Structure 1
Amino acid sequence: MRRSGDGGAAKKKKKRSASAASERRPRADGGMRIVVPLQGVVQGRGGLVLGSLIPCALFYFFQLYIKRNRASPPPPPGSPTAASAAAVSPIHRSLSRGLLAPRAALPAISARGASVRDDDSLYYAGLRRCAADPYHPATNPSGIIQLGLAENYLSLDLVGRWMEEHAAEAASMAGGEDEDERELSIRGLAAYQPYDGILALKMALAGFMRQIMQGSVSFEPSQMVITSGATPAMEILSFCLADPGNAFLVPSPYYPGWDRDIKWRTGIELIPVPCRSTDNFNISITALEIAYNQAKKRGIKNIHLISDEVFAGSTYGSGKFVSVAEVVDDLEDFDKGRVHIIYGLSKDLSLAGFRVGVIYSYNESIVTAAAKIARFSSVSTPTQRLLVAMLSDQKFISDYLKVNRERLRKMYHLFVDALDQVGIECYKSSGGFYCWADMSKFIRSYSEKGERKLWDRLLEEAKVNVTPGSSCHCIEPGWFRCCFTTLSEHDIPVLVQRLRTITDSHKPNR
């Protein structure tokens, strides 16, 4: 080392004067820059000694500092700590330091995690913006009015009243006065239950689904898989039907959440099948054939049918809802094993927070596979017991469905009339929570960019959140999805006033 070589040379040479030492050119070594001035300050042999000792002391303290801040050495092989560490982790010590070192340039998130993190749409951006500043007539009258979220507030009072009267008893399954009965009740709640749903709930759901279909079709509990909402139901079913790189044909405009629900973890692609206003946005055989032929070129030809029927009990028109289950019952020589239904209680019973969905399939293999995957999205037992009691209350269910449909019908007409006051036309509907509104005459350029600018003005200036058609893969700019079931009658005049700030400032482009 350079330090020890300098010390040996100093012993062989005679004492130099302070001026000679100061005239010596300092080296690039940091230690020499300390030694030379000290020899000039302290005359004689003492200066030489101090000039040699001080860098040694600095080097010693530097080594001590490194030693204290270095990772602790592994304990001796025979020590209890070493034995327990070896038992817990199979990773070799020399490798674990490298893996855990803070300087290691390891990615903070996986590639697929990064794709999820960066994936977004105006639909979710609007929901976040509204959640940060929600409208309330008393506590936040200048907040954003929510027309983008499919929740039904119109009949929550009916559900709340039933909960007040029956929830505690239904969820706890109180066994009466007998101690053994109470113990069995608690055990039934606390112990593991089938991940795909308890039989009692499947039977109750089968009866409820038959009721909302007005008795036109029956459902078998053995063909059901219960999940924590329709979202995981759709993902699990997609996982069981297709492999990464396969695709589903989806009539558009469609629910924006499917781009996440179906694609994120399954690797499945979605191919929109465009529906147009000239066809009243009805799916046509021609459009399906075109999309199917395009899919076949990509090697996609194994066709299944998934019917999303979450709004089956939320109709308010004169027509009757027809389930695909009723259709296949009337067909002969048809492979029912390729037909699957998604259902849930978030819409028809206003129970979005309960997270209960259903996969109904005629394919035994699909049901078996889905039941196993349901372990990742099972519904809590208290929730299931509570729903068994609610769905089994025939009087409550009948009254609720009747009143809810009437309230939906009334609010739909109030909402359509309100939009008509500001020059916005709506596509006629007879079910669901939405109004499909045509605002194309208020966009300055007939394009997706023009649609986005109008959406931004509605959100920031009018303080109204709606879902732009582009988020639903609508190919015609200017259509917006508006959910009217989050409003009350008192909110309608406020909504009209806010929309006027946008529509009155625009010159219609047609």
Structure 2
Amino acid sequence: MSENRNKGSRKPAGGSTNTWSMSHQAATQSMGDRDLRNRKIFSELLEMMLEVNRTMEDHFLEFTTREMQGPPLNEESYAQTIREQQGRIRDLMSKIVKLLWSEVVDNLGLKQPPSAQDSSIDITGRPTALSFRQPDQPDLRQREFEVAFVSYFLSKRGSDISTSYHKNFQNYEDYQRDKYHEETNPLGFLNLSTSENKLCLDLMTERVTWDPQGLCGSVHSLREEVARFLSYYCKAPYYIDPENVVVLNGCCSVFSALAMVLCDPGEAFLVPTPFCGGFVFTSSLYAKVELIFVYLESEVTAENTHPFQLTVEKLELVLMEAKSKAKKVRGLLLSNPQNPLGDVYSLESLMQYLIFAKRHKLHVIMDEVYMLSVFDESIKFHSVLSIESLPDPQRTHMIWGTSKDFGIAGFRFGALYTYNKEVASAVSSFGYLHSISGIAQYKLCRLLQDREWINRMYLPVNHCRLRFAHKYVTDQLEALKIPFLNRGSGLYIWINLKEYLEPCTFEEEKALHQRFLAHKLMLSRGKSFTCKEPGWFRLIFAENHQQLREGE
């Protein structure tokens, strides 16, 4: 045997070379064919598993709805049985995944994720046996077995984006599949969670469909109309330059673009909590900007003259802590009126926050999307654009859109006004990806131009209906002895359900939220607003009267 090999060489000697080469090529080709076959089987199995899962989900939804039309005597026991059934099915699916991984993971060269290692544990490390549509986890279409294979189809970034999206918006997807309708689906989901103004759909539908000039009339540019609109309704003391206005397809797009041009990945904004949870997803999706929370408390003390009060002292403390951890803070994010609290900042408070930001050379992003939804006439709203002597105008940026104030979220319109031309120029480049359709621009121009209709018809009627709906809901809350923040702005009420939590923990808050969902009622829980205290929920009152009555 040694005579057939060259000493010190791993190459076959003499005439064996061709034989070895041919056999090696055949083996390589065979391995390649087998690899392709395995991948094909893998793909087919995965698609079948996903289809089986979707089919079972549809079955259980239909089964539950049918049973709810004739509710059993012990409804809680019935719901528990359904949860146990789903837990067993999920456990079976996880075992299938485990088997598939053991057979093919080596051939495919993939890394086995933690979720496939224990069929009784979900991707967060919690038991899954009795899990039933957990509000903070991916829905039934994104369970362990699907997450286990996600690396086969997606990059790590794609997997993170998908998981983050489903985690934040799963309940809305459930609602879209099973919406309440007074006649066709009376047992569907009542959505008192999504912040939309449904009270003036009749007025807005009539206004956007009526146009005496048709599409042939002359139209000013949308940016010019937005500049005039903001100048008038924000009571701006100076000229609002259309060149400093940027319009994109939604306020989230505006904020995301602004975060991109103001921060490098890993840098941060300060944001007082509770706050709109959509900022978390929007800041991380493209810009990879961190939000550093300034936690506010509900207790009234010598320092806090009202619940959840923001003070400069709290901002200074959190900024100092961030710097001690080598965090680079680039700005301060504020909402006015505040969501979900409903607070409207006084001019004095607003100036204190702006002076703090100037002292530390921080950008200030003012989200004023509810500025025309202040329905209590005793409350004075101060736009950041109304301040005559801004402490640092080059670092002051304001966002507004029509989704909340006019209830037309489907138009996908958001506007930025900044005094900084460099920032405006940089953000405007995102119009290449996030532009507004020509028809929507035309309709928005016509709407914003019609100041007489807005002042004489829309705003008086809208504010009147908001007051009526707010009083109706707060009267019900008082009758039930449920504490809440009684504010006069926005479309929502911040309610305190701590009394129904025993013990008062975020786990119990989640369980209460789950019970609401089991009874087809959608509210937003405090954890989704990064509230420091468990037990708070946001309830949308700007809904038609029939749905508000159904939600009682």
Q: CA deviation at 1:358?
A: 0.6
Equivalent pairs counted in the alignment come to: 373
- Provide the aligned C-alpha RMSD in A: 2.6
Q: What's 1:195 paired with?
A: none
Does residue 130 in structure 1 map to residue 164 in structure 2?
A: no
* Structure 1: gaps (5+ residues): 1-61, 71-101, 176-197, 497-510
User: What is the distance in 2 between the residues matched to 1:113 and 1:475?
Assistant: 30
User: What is the distance in 2 between the residues matched to 1:430 and 1:123?
Assistant: 28
User: What is the distance in 1 between the residues matched to 2:167 and 2:500?
Assistant: 18
Does residue 402 in structure 1 map to residue 447 in structure 2?
A: no
User: What is the distance in 1 between the residues matched to 2:443 and 2:158?
Assistant: 36
Q: How big is each residue's C-alpha offset from its partner over 1:100-123, in whole Å with a ceiling of 9 and x where there is no partner?
A: xx9797842111111111125775
Does residue 305 in structure 1 map to residue 305 in structure 2?
A: no
User: What is the distance in 1 between the residues matched to 2:280 and 2:159?
Assistant: 16
In structure 1, what residue type is equivalent to 2:292?
Answer: I
- 252, 270, 293: which one aligns with 1:231: 252
Q: CA deviation at 1:129?
A: 2.2
Per the alignment, do residues 223 and 199 of structure 1 end up closer, same or farther by CA in structure 2, a change over 3 Å counting? farther
In structure 1, what residue type is equivalent to 2:262?
Answer: L
Tell me the SS of whatever aligns to 1:270. Answer: strand
- 426, 432, 452: which one aligns with 2:510: 452
Tell me the SS of whatever aligns to 1:163. Answer: helix
Q: What's 1:366 paired with?
A: 423
Tell me the SS of whatever aligns to 2:537. Answer: strand
Does residue 294 in structure 1 map to residue 315 in structure 2?
A: no
Q: CA deviation at 1:344?
A: 0.7
Does residue 465 in structure 1 map to residue 522 in structure 2?
A: yes
| TM-score normalised by L of structure 2 | 0.64
User: What is the distance in 2 between the residues matched to 1:337 and 1:347?
Assistant: 27
Structure 1's consecutive aligned runs of 4 or more residues displaced over 6 angstroms after TM superposition are: 102-106
Per the alignment, do residues 211 and 407 of structure 1 end up closer, same or farther by CA in structure 2, a change over 3 Å counting? farther
Q: What's 2:385 paired with?
A: 325
What percent of counterpart residues are identical? 30
Native 8 Å contact 2:220 2:445 kept in 1: no
- 139, 142, 148: which one aligns with 2:184: 139
In structure 1, what residue type is equivalent to 2:216?
Answer: M
In structure 2, what residue type is equivalent to 1:230?
Answer: C
Higher mean alpha-carbon deviation, 428-437 vs 217-226, is at 217-226
Native 8 Å contact 1:253 1:473 kept in 2: yes
User: What is the distance in 1 between the residues matched to 2:368 and 2:156?
Assistant: 34
In structure 2, what residue type is equivalent to 1:320?
Answer: K
Q: What's 1:335 paired with?
A: 392
Tell me the SS of whatever aligns to 1:119. Answer: helix
- 291, 298, 322: which one aligns with 1:270: 291
Per the alignment, do residues 113 and 199 of structure 1 end up closer, same or farther by CA in structure 2, a change over 3 Å counting? farther
In structure 1, what residue type is equivalent to 2:383?
Answer: S
Native 8 Å contact 1:469 1:478 kept in 2: yes
User: What is the distance in 2 between the residues matched to 1:407 and 1:207?
Assistant: 27
User: What is the distance in 1 between the residues matched to 2:323 and 2:488?
Assistant: 35
* Structure 2: gaps (5+ residues): 1-25, 35-106, 111-150, 331-361
Per the alignment, do residues 253 and 466 of structure 1 end up closer, same or farther by CA in structure 2, a change over 3 Å counting? same
User: What is the distance in 2 between the residues matched to 1:287 and 1:472?
Assistant: 18
Higher mean alpha-carbon deviation, 422-431 vs 375-384, is at 422-431
Q: What's 1:283 paired with?
A: 310
User: What is the distance in 2 between the residues matched to 1:212 and 1:402?
Assistant: 14
Q: What's 2:484 paired with?
A: 426
Q: CA deviation at 1:325?
A: 1.8
Per the alignment, do residues 490 and 269 of structure 1 end up closer, same or farther by CA in structure 2, a change over 3 Å counting? same
Q: How big is each residue's C-alpha offset from its partner over 1:183-228, in whole Å with a ceiling of 9 and x where there is no partner?
A: xxxxxxxxxxxxxxx9621121122223333566653212110000
Q: How big is each residue's C-alpha offset from its partner over 1:286-310, in whole Å with a ceiling of 9 and x where there is no partner?
A: 2111111122222424411100000
User: What is the distance in 2 between the residues matched to 1:435 and 1:373?
Assistant: 34
User: What is the distance in 1 between the residues matched to 2:471 and 2:309?
Assistant: 22
User: What is the distance in 2 between the residues matched to 1:152 and 1:363?
Assistant: 32
| TM-score normalised by L of structure 1 | 0.69
Q: What's 2:22 paired with?
A: none
Q: How is 1:22-421 mapped onto 2 (pairs within 5 angstroms)?
A: 107-119=152-164, 124-166=169-211, 169-170=213-214, 172-173=215-216, 200-213=221-234, 219-278=240-299, 279=304, 280-297=307-324, 298-302=326-330, 303-317=362-376, 318-327=378-387, 329-331=388-390, 334-398=391-455, 399-421=457-479
Per the alignment, do residues 421 and 218 of structure 1 end up closer, same or farther by CA in structure 2, a change over 3 Å counting? farther
In structure 2, what residue type is equivalent to 1:492?
Answer: L
Q: What's 1:439 paired with?
A: 497
Q: How big is each residue's C-alpha offset from its partner over 1:147-195, in whole Å with a ceiling of 9 and x where there is no partner?
A: 111111101111111233218x44x2258xxxxxxxxxxxxxxxxxxxx
